[in-house]
Amino acid sequence: METRKKIALITGANRGLGFEIARQLGKKQIKVLIGARNVTAGEAATNRLIAEGIDAIFFLLDITQADSISNTVKLVTEKFGYLDILVNNAACLPKATDAGSPSQVGKQLLLDFLETNLLAQISVTQSFLPLIRQSTAGRIVNMSSTIGSVTISGEHLHQNGTKPPRIPYAVSKAAFNMFTVLLAKELRSEGIKVNSADPGLTQTDAGGPNAPYTVEQGARPAVWLSCLDDNGPTGCFFTHVDNHVVNNPW
């Protein structure tokens, strides 16, 4: 019997971890839809993947723009009619200049982070859900962070010398983790698996060149979660240690 090709949409796939996740999924013979908000950067990234023999297609997708999301949903619906894997990777990353300490942070900065890292992720997920429901093995992977782990942040409280992480990014990723858990519960009976991935501090524009992990390593939990079989976990949080994917504490 002919099996239809798996399709994955990765948001923010023009650079960094999103690009690498697309590359690794593409190497597994999955058709990758390259979501990016910038046409030039998105097309250039897609062409680099195609040059590596990967089945990649560019879609203009700004996750904070309702029109952009609905237009991409329409195009994917017309072209394919289903989506197997959604990787919610695009995000607003903290800058050294952000005044993000808990005692001083302003409302606008909090709103900016929550808009991209929580509300937009929920909109994208809800909008693509009808297409994911057309898959026989829907997988949703939410890119989170160690900084979004309440448990790990709590441990830091008791260590000398560590500064509290910038609160806008931290709360946005912690809230995104909560979305993972609750959506996983809702969709469990439909066989759609929803998990959070923590890449660890990774060598991207955001992570910087001195980060401990390469993009190949950082992409691994998300790629593994994208390809879970029917017995795989749902509603869980994973990272990697010594090149193995392991559970992360919430």
Ligand X SMILES: NC(=O)c1ccc[n+]([C@@H]2O[C@H](COP(=O)([O-])OP(=O)(O)OC[C@H]3O[C@@H](n4cnc5c(N)ncnc54)[C@H](OP(=O)(O)O)[C@@H]3O)[C@@H](O)[C@H]2O)c1
Could you give phi then psi for residue 175, rounded to 5 degrees?
Answer: -65, -35
180 binds ligand X (CB under 6 A): no
Closer to ligand X by CB, 91 or 184: give it. Answer: 91
152 binds ligand X (CB under 6 A): no
- Letters for 88-117 (x = contact with ligand X by CB under 6 A, - = none) are -xxxxx----------------------x-
The angle formed by the CA atoms of residues 111, 107 and 105, to the nearest 5 degrees, is 110
Q: Which of 9, 10, 12, 131 touches ligand X (CB under 6 A)?
A: 12
Active-site residue, selected from the candidate residues 31, 169, 193, 213:
169
17 binds ligand X (CB under 6 A): yes
Closer to ligand X by CB, 38 or 151: give it. Answer: 38
CA distance 196 to 179: 9
Positions 53 through 92 that interact with ligand X (CB under 6 A) = 61-64, 89-92
125 binds ligand X (CB under 6 A): no
201 binds ligand X (CB under 6 A): yes
- Contact segment (CB under 6 A) with ligand X among 102-110, 178-186, 199-207, 230-238 equals 199-207
Look up 82 and say whether it is catalytic. no
162 binds ligand X (CB under 6 A): no
Structure tokens at 132: 């994911």
* Cβ within 8 Å of residue 250, ≥6 positions away: 149, 150, 151, 177, 181, 237
Burial pattern 4-28, b for ≥16 Cβ within 10 A else e, equals eebbbbbbbbbbbbbbbbbbbbbee
**Helices 107-114/167-187 angle, 10° precision:** 40
Nearest partner of 86 among 116, 119, 126, judged by Cα: 126
Using an 8 Å Cβ cutoff, are 63 and 85 in contact? Answer: no
Catalytic residue numbers?
Answer: 169, 173
Contact residues for ligand X (CB under 6 A)?
11-12, 14-18, 37-38, 41, 61-64, 89-93, 116, 143, 145, 199, 201-202, 204-207, 211
